[in-house]
C-alpha cells in the first residue's frame, strides 16, 4: 500500500475547518441539483413562499406538469425541497437546513 503524501500547510489558509467526505458529497449533490436554470428558478420562487402547489409552479414557468415534476423530483432527491399531498395536488417547500448548509458553504 502506497503512503499518502504529507500535506504542506497553506500560507494563507482559511479558518474554515475541512468538510468531512460525507458532508462534501451531500453538498455536491445539492449543488448538482442546482446546476439547471429552471431548478434554480424553482428554488428562488419557493424561497418567497412558505409552500407552493405544483400547479402554481407549472403556471409560473409555462412548463408542462410532468416537466415541473421532474425538476421537483431532482430537488427533492437532493434534499432541497419536501412535499406534502393534499387531494390530487402536491405542495412543495424548501428544506431550511439544506439551504443553510449551502449558504454556509459559500461563506454567507
Residue 11: inside a domain: no
Q: How many C-beta neighbours within 10 Å does residue 25 have? A: 10
pLDDT of residue 67: 95
- C-alpha–C-alpha distance, residues 82 and 99, integer Å: 12
The reply to whether 10 falls in a domain is no
Q: How many domains does the chain have?
A: 1
Is pLDDT at 47 greater than 70 in this prediction?
yes
Q: Which residue has the higher pLDDT, 85 or 105?
A: 85
Span 7-43, pLDDT tens digits: 666 566 667 677 789 888 888 899 999 999 999 999 9
Looking at residue 100, what is its pLDDT? Answer: 86
pLDDT, tens digit (0-9, with 9 covering 90-100), for 53-88 = 998 999 898 889 899 999 999 999 999 999 999 999
102 against 79, higher pLDDT:
79
Which structural domain range is residue 82 located in? Answer: 21-105
Strand residue runs (E) in 24-77: 52-53
CATH of the domain at 60: 1.10.10.10
Amino acid at each position: 500500500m502506497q503512503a499518502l503524501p504529507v500535506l504542506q500547510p497553506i500560507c494563507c489558509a482559511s479558518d474554515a475547518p475541512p468538510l468531512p467526505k460525507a458532508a462534501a458529497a451531500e453538498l455536491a449533490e445539492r449543488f448538482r441539483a442546482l446546476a439547471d436554470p429552471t431548478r434554480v428558478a424553482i428554488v428562488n420562487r419557493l424561497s418567497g413562499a412558505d409552500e407552493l402547489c405544483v400547479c402554481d409552479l407549472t403556471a409560473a414557468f409555462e412548463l408542462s406538469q410532468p416537466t415541473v415534476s421532474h425538476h421537483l423530483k431532482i430537488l427533492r432527491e437532493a434534499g432541497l425541497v419536501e412535499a406534502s399531498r393534499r387531494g390530487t395536488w402536491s405542495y412543495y417547500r424548501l428544506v431550511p437546513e439544506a439551504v443553510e448548509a449551502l449558504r454556509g458553504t459559500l461563506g454567507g
